[in-house]
Amino acid sequence: MSAVEGELGILARRRIEAEIIKPIYDILVRDYGKESAQAVIGEAVSQAAVKAGEYFASREPQGPNLEGFVALQALWEQDDALKVEIIASDATHYDYDVHRCRYAEMYHEMGLGEIGHLLSCNRDEVFIVGYDPNVELTRTQTIMQGATHCNFRYKVKDQEPEQ
C-alpha cells in the first residue's frame, strides 16, 4: 500500500474541520474579539500541523526525506483540489506554483475567507518542520490572500559539515 492509498484527501479533511471550527471561531470572536479568536485558531491549527507532519514522517520506512514528502502531495491534490505546475523537483528542491486552489474557494464559500490562511496556508511551513526539519519552505504569496498563484519553494537546508 502506498503512503497515500486509501487516505482521505486533505480537501475533504479540511471541509470537515472547517465545519467544526466555524461555530467555535464565531463564539471566540463574540466573546474575545477577532484578533484573539484568530490567535487561538492559528495556534491550535499550527500545533496540529506539526503533529501531522510528525505522524507522516513516522510512516516513512527509510525516514522522512524530500522524495517521501513529494509523494505525499497527492493527498493535497486529491479530489482535484489544486492545479499545480511543477517548476523543479530533485533530491534537494521541490518548487511548484499552484494556479487554482479549491481550499481557498471552499473557505470563501463557507464564510471563512478571513481565516482560510490560518486553516490551510499557514499549516504548510509548520507541517514541513514536523515532517522533516531539514527541509524549509519559502512562499511569498497565496491565492487565499489574493495573489494569482501560490509559489511553493521547498529546499533541503544546507548541512554544516561535522568537525
Per-position pLDDT tens, the chain of length 163: 344 556 678 999 999 999 999 999 999 999 999 999 999 999 999 999 999 999 999 999 989 999 999 999 998 999 999 999 999 999 999 999 999 999 999 999 999 999 999 999 999 999 999 999 999 999 999 999 999 999 999 999 986 555 5
Cell 515532517: give the residue: 131
pLDDT at residue number 118: 95
- Kindly list the domain boundaries of the chain, sorted by start residue: 10-156
Residue range 10-156, CATH number? 3.30.1380.20
pLDDT at residue number 8: 79
pLDDT at residue number 2: 41
Eight-class DSSP state of 78? G
8 Å CB contact between 58 and 50: no
Sheet holding 135-138, edge to edge: 82-89, 93-101, 150-156, 135-138
CB half-sphere exposure, 42, CA atoms < 13 A:
13
pLDDT at residue number 162: 54
* CA pair distance 56, 78, nearest whole angstrom: 17
pLDDT at residue number 62: 87
pLDDT at residue number 159: 63
Whole-model pTM above 0.75?
A: yes
